[in-house]
């Protein structure tokens, strides 16, 4: 991928991530399990991991979290640290899973790994702040909820990548099973 094209793709993914972050807040999943969310922004992370390398995908995640918190007015507050820890850990695990276990897991499996990692990181970060072990009560509920949301996110990423033109994917995404 050319440098200019790469910059354009990165910025597109960041803005998509910001919009998805906003859309996500319309679904009050926190009423079901406190702290739960759809994780739509993970679609963008997954696409970035598949299309771009580590550095560019990492940029997408960092900028999404930082800009998202700036827009929501939560930059450098506790909410920012929570989404930062969740975002970074889930990104790292998804990256590792994608590059080392790509032959075993589809994007759905990788997205579930990311969702579970995100929940675990956030609960752990929250535990360090409120210093109450009772918060782990919600972890199994969140992990269970991460399955359907992770599945949905994985499917969306899969079909988005499948329909992206070759000029953007540059053949980086090869769909082994459908061939």
Partner 1 sequence: MKITDILTLYDKILIVFVIILSLVLLLIPFYFFGGSAEGEELILRVQQGDELIKTVAVADSYQEPIIFKVQGPIGVHTIEVNQGRVRVKEAPADDPLKICEKTGWIDREGPIIVCVPNSLSLWLESTNSDIDGMSW
Query: Nearer Cβ to partner 1, position 10 or 87?
Result: 87
Q: Is 143 in the site for partner 1 (CB under 8 A)?
A: yes
Query: Could you say whether residue 165 binds partner 1 (CB under 8 A)?
Result: no
Could you tell me which stretch among 11-19, 28-36, 85-93, 163-171 binds partner 1 (CB under 8 A)?
A: 28-36
Provide CB contacts within 8 A for 134, sequence distance 6+.
Answer: none
The verdict on 168 binding partner 1 (CB under 8 A) reads: no
Q: Give the SS3 label for residue 179.
A: coil
The Cα 66–Cα 72 span in angstroms is 10
Q: Half-sphere exposure of 120 toward its Cβ, with a 13 Å CA cutoff?
A: 11
Q: Please report how close the Cβ of residue 69 comes to partner 1 at its closest, in angstroms.
A: 9
Ramachandran quadrant class, 131 (left: phi over 0; alpha: psi -120 to 50; beta: rest): left
Nearer to partner 1, 12 or 138 (CB): 138
CA 44/CA 39 separation, integer angstroms? 10
Of residues 31-50, those binding partner 1 (CB under 8 A):
31, 34-35
Would you count residue 78 as binding partner 1 (CB under 8 A)?
Answer: yes
Alpha helix segments (H runs only) across the chain = 3-24, 41-51, 54-72, 78-100, 107-130, 139-163, 166-169
Residue of the chain from 10, 40, 94, 112 that contacts partner 1 (CB under 8 A): 112
Q: Does 113 bind partner 1 (CB under 8 A)?
A: yes
Binding site for partner 1 (CB under 8 A): 28, 30-31, 34-35, 72-74, 77-79, 82, 101, 104-109, 112-113, 116, 126, 129-135, 137-141, 143-144, 146-147, 151, 155, 158, 177-178
């Amino acid at each position: 991928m050319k440098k200019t094209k790469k910059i354009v793709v990165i910025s597109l993914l960041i803005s998509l991530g910001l919009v998805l972050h906003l859309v996500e807040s319309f679904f009050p999943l926190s009423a079901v399990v406190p702290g739960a969310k759809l994780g739509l922004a993970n679609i963008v992370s997954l696409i970035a991991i598949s299309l771009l390398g580590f550095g560019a995908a990492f940029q997408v995640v960092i900028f999404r979290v930082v800009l998202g918190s700036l827009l929501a007015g939560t930059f450098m507050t506790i909410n920012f640290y929570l989404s930062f820890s969740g975002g970074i850990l889930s990104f790292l695990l998804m990256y590792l899973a994608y590059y080392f276990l790509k032959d075993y897991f589809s994007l759905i499996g990788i997205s579930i790994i990311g969702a579970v990692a995100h929940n675990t990181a956030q609960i752990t970060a929250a535990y360090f702040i409120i210093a109450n072990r009772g918060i782990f009560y919600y972890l199994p509920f969140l992990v269970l909820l991460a399955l359907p949301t992770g599945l949905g996110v994985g499917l969306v990423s899969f079909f988005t990548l499948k329909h992206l033109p070759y000029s953007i994917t540059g053949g980086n995404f090869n769909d082994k099973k459908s061939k």
